[in-house]
Amino acid sequence: MNTQNIQLFSVSSPNKAESLTQLSMQFGWLSRMGFTQGSLVKAVPDSDGMNFILCNDNIASYRKLLHETEQLGGKLLIVGQIIKGKETYSTINLTFGQKIKTGFWAYGNPLIAAYEHGIIKVKKLPIAKYHTITSVYDNRLNKSFTTLRLQSNWLTDFGFISGALATATAGQESITIKLWDGGTEKYNEAVKYARKNGSKLFQVGAMSHRFKTPIICITGAFIEKAGFNMGEIFSIEATHGILQLQKLALVGLGF
Q: Which of 103, 127, 151 is the last residue of a domain?
A: 127
pLDDT value, residue 101: 38
207-232: average pLDDT: 87
Please check whether residues 204 and 223 belong to one and the same domain: yes
Please check whether residues 94 and 201 belong to one and the same domain: no
Please check whether residues 107 and 32 belong to one and the same domain: yes
**Chain segment 71-80, per-residue pLDDT in tens:** 888 889 999 9
Residue 142, classified by CB atoms within 10 Å of its CB into exposed (0-12), middle (13-18) or buried (19+), is exposed
How far apart are alpha carbons 222 and 92 in whole angstroms?
Answer: 37
As a whole-number percent, the residues of the chain with pLDDT over 70 amount to 91
**Chain segment 112-138, per-residue pLDDT in tens:** 999 999 999 999 998 899 999 998 888
Q: Where are the alpha helices (DSSP H) in 153-212?
A: 183-197
Please check whether residues 233 and 120 belong to one and the same domain: no
Q: What's this model's pTM, rounded to 2 decimal places? A: 0.82
pLDDT value, residue 102: 42
pLDDT value, residue 209: 65
> Is residue 20, in this structure, part of any structural domain at all?
yes
How far apart are alpha carbons 244 and 19 in whole angstroms?
Answer: 34
Please check whether residues 151 and 174 belong to one and the same domain: yes
Mean pLDDT of the chain: 88
Please check whether residues 14 and 123 belong to one and the same domain: yes
115, 154, 141: which is closest to 27 by C-alpha?
A: 115
> Is residue 160, in this structure, part of any structural domain at all?
yes
Domain that holds residue 47: 6-127
Please check whether residues 249 and 144 belong to one and the same domain: yes
pLDDT value, residue 24: 93
Please check whether residues 144 and 245 belong to one and the same domain: yes
213-234: average pLDDT: 92
Whether residue 98 is predicted with pLDDT greater than 60 in this model: the reply is no
pLDDT value, residue 99: 36
Q: Are 114 and 1 in contact (CB under 8 A)?
A: yes
Query: In what side-by-side order are the strands of the sheet with 119-124?
Result: 6-10, 110-116, 119-124, 49-54, 40-46, 75-78
> Is residue 210, in this structure, part of any structural domain at all?
yes
243, 225, 233, 228: which is closest to 164 by C-alpha?
A: 243
Please check whether residues 140 and 209 belong to one and the same domain: yes
Please check whether residues 140 and 77 belong to one and the same domain: no
How far apart are alpha carbons 76 and 74 in whole angstroms?
Answer: 7
Please check whether residues 243 and 148 belong to one and the same domain: yes
Q: How confident is the model at residue 49 (pLDDT cuts 50, 70, 90)?
A: confident
Whether residue 18 is predicted with pLDDT greater than 70 in this model: the reply is no
pLDDT value, residue 223: 93
Whether residue 245 is predicted with pLDDT greater than 80 in this model: the reply is yes
Higher pLDDT, 169 or 103: 169
Whether residue 100 is predicted with pLDDT greater than 60 in this model: the reply is no
**Chain segment 137-194, per-residue pLDDT in tens:** 888 888 888 999 999 999 999 999 999 999 999 999 999 999 998 777 889 999 999 9
Q: Are 168 and 197 in contact (CB under 8 A)?
A: no
Q: Which residues contact 85 (CB under 8 A, 6 or more apart)?
A: none
Q: Which of 93, 127, 161 is the last residue of a domain?
A: 127
> What is the count of structural domains for the chain?
2
Higher pLDDT, 139 or 34: 34
Residue 76: strand pairing partners? 42
Please check whether residues 146 and 178 belong to one and the same domain: yes
pLDDT value, residue 96: 80
> Is residue 1, in this structure, part of any structural domain at all?
no
Which of the 8 DSSP states describes residue 103?
S
> Is residue 182, in this structure, part of any structural domain at all?
yes
